[in-house]
Structure 1
Amino acid sequence: MPAYIAEEIALRIARGILHPNEHLVELAIAEEFKTSRAPVREALLMLEKDKLVQKVPHRGFVVKKFSKDEIHQLYDATFRLEEIAIQKAITNATQDDIERLEQILLDQESAIDNEDIVDFYELNEDFHAQILAIANNQFITDMHQSLRRSSRPLSFLNMGQGKNMLLSYQEHTKQFEAIKNKDVAAGVNAIREQEERSLKTLDIFYAI
């Protein structure tokens, strides 16, 4: 139950249903999920570990509001891991791996055509998870998953701006081509291009 509650709250934060600094009332959450407050408290502690919520004196848990510096540090760590992962994926990728990545890109095209940001976001996570799986380093995977959980609301916000879904798809296509052609330099450049574009968007919303 705690893991389920944590995931539901995380999704609401990612989709902007719950906003930065919004108070998370344990009793209300317990009533909604028809449980006691103990599983809710455990779920909130899980979210605190993922840096999606924080405990404030005399208020309890609130949705975390990131500072600009925190975002840059978070993205620096995330994208450095992705650079390592894509280099390992380029070495390890089989034809089946290539075909799975290609199918995710085709599904992303459909999500863009349908203007379905929720579907595109999930496919975005699938794309990165597939590259991590090909890289085949569990320590990198675990660290990356933790960072991606923390950045979910930022990623969702990012993708909803302007042409960012299309730009993200184009960046993923470059990463895919780099893996397919075993071009390490192109893969790293594509990762850095995505990082730069993402931070430019987020800097508009998080100026401090």
Structure 2
Amino acid sequence: MKKLTAPMQIAEELAAKIANRELHPNEHLVESAIAKEFNTSRAPVREALLMLEKDRLVTRVPHHGFVVKNFSKEEIHQLYDATFRLEEIALEKAMNNIVEEDLTRLEEILNKQKQAIEDEDIVSYYNHNEEFHTTLFSIAQNEFLKEMHQSLRRSSRPLSLLNMGQGNNLSLSFEEHCQQFNALKNKDKEIGLKAIRDQEKRSLKTLDIFYIN
């Protein structure tokens, strides 16, 4: 496992706080305060904030510094459009490459997702959800697609956690992943693509309630 540098560790912890809404949209991120919190100088903090800016989790405001990104409704729709289109491509490619060992791995992840639902653990479910997608993109065997998707998923992490916490979205997400799994197993592209598009529509319908503009 690659060792995290100090800026990477700070970026990861700040990203988690943004995702968990401990840091709120438009909240000013004071470099000196963050440096004090992590017992470091401002240099690694600035580098961490630049990483988060690249992941579209923070925004730089002239003469003010960095603030937590406040997505507009249009940006969310564009972000999800790009994300789910990549997932459609990956599903089709994975369908051509998948072997029994891959199916076993995906099934193990689905079992962990199911357990997270039973435990009502949204963060655990989210982590296994990401594992499902990462595994699927690995099966697709295209590193460029995988890297683009991971970048988009980092950007949407706060949105995903917000979405998953509403109503019965965890169970619906699990059902959609099961449909994708069965589609891969049975080489049924139409069923797999429908599951992805259903997930996209459901996610956006939920987020549209919170992001009016």
TM range (shorter): over 0.9
1:112 matched to which residue of 2? 117
Q: Could you tell me which residue of structure 2 aligns to residue 129 of structure 1?
A: 134
State how many pairs are aligned.
208
Between the aligned partners of 1:63 and 1:88, the Cα distance in structure 2 is: 36
Higher relative contact order by CA 8 Å / sep ≥ 6: 1 or 2?
1
Deviations 1:93-152 (CA, angstroms, capped at 9, x unpaired): 110100010011111111001100010010010011110010010010011011001000
Letter in 2 for 1:127: F
**Counterparts of 1:42 and 1:159, CA distance in 2:** 30
Give the drift of 1:15.
1.1
> What residue is the counterpart of 1:53 in the other structure?
58
Matched residue SS, 1:18: coil
Question: Deviation of residue 58 (structure 1)?
Answer: 2.7
Q: Do structure 1's residue 23 and structure 2's residue 33 form an aligned pair?
A: no
Cα distance in 2, alignment partners of residues 136 and 3 from structure 1: 27
Q: Deviations over 1:72-104 (max 9, x none)?
A: 000000000000000011111110100010011
Letter in 1 for 2:208: D
Partners of 1:16 and 1:164 in 2: CA distance: 19
Normalising by the residue count of structure 1, what TM-score does the alignment of the two structures yield? 0.99
2:71 alignment partner, SS class = coil
After TM superposition, give the deviation of residue 57 of structure 1 in Å. 2.2
**Structure 2: which 5+ runs fail to align?**
1-5
- Please state whether the residue corresponding to 1:169 is helix, strand or coil: helix
Q: What is the aligned counterpart of 2:19 among 3, 10, 14?
A: 14
Matched, 1:150 2:149: no
The 1-side partners of 2:135 and 2:59 are apart by: 30
Shift of 1:34: 1.1
The one of 93, 100, 112 equivalent to 1:95 is 100
1:163 corresponding residue in structure 2: 168
CA distance in 1, matches of 2:184, 2:33: 48
Q: Which stretches of structure 1, 4 residues or longer, exceed 2 Å deviation after superposition?
A: none
Partners of 1:4 and 1:96 lie apart in 2 by 33
1:71 matched to 2:76? The reply is yes
Give 3-state SS (helix, strand or coil) of 1:62's partner: strand
> In the alignment, residue 50 of structure 1 is paired with which amino acid?
D
* Matching residue of 2:90: 85
Shift of 1:165: 0.5
Distance 1:116 1:199 in 2: 22
Distance 1:78 1:179 in 2: 19
Percent of aligned positions with the same letter in both sequences? 67
| Alpha-carbon displacement from aligned partner over 1:25-84 (angstroms, at most 9, x marks no partner) | 101111111110000000001100110000112321010000000000000000000000
Structure 1 gaps of 5+ residues are none
* 2:94 aligned counterpart, secondary structure: helix
1:174 positional shift:
0.4
Q: 2: distance between equivalents of 1:86 and 1:124?
A: 15
Instruction: Tell me the amino acid that sits aligned with residue 42 of structure 1.
Output: E
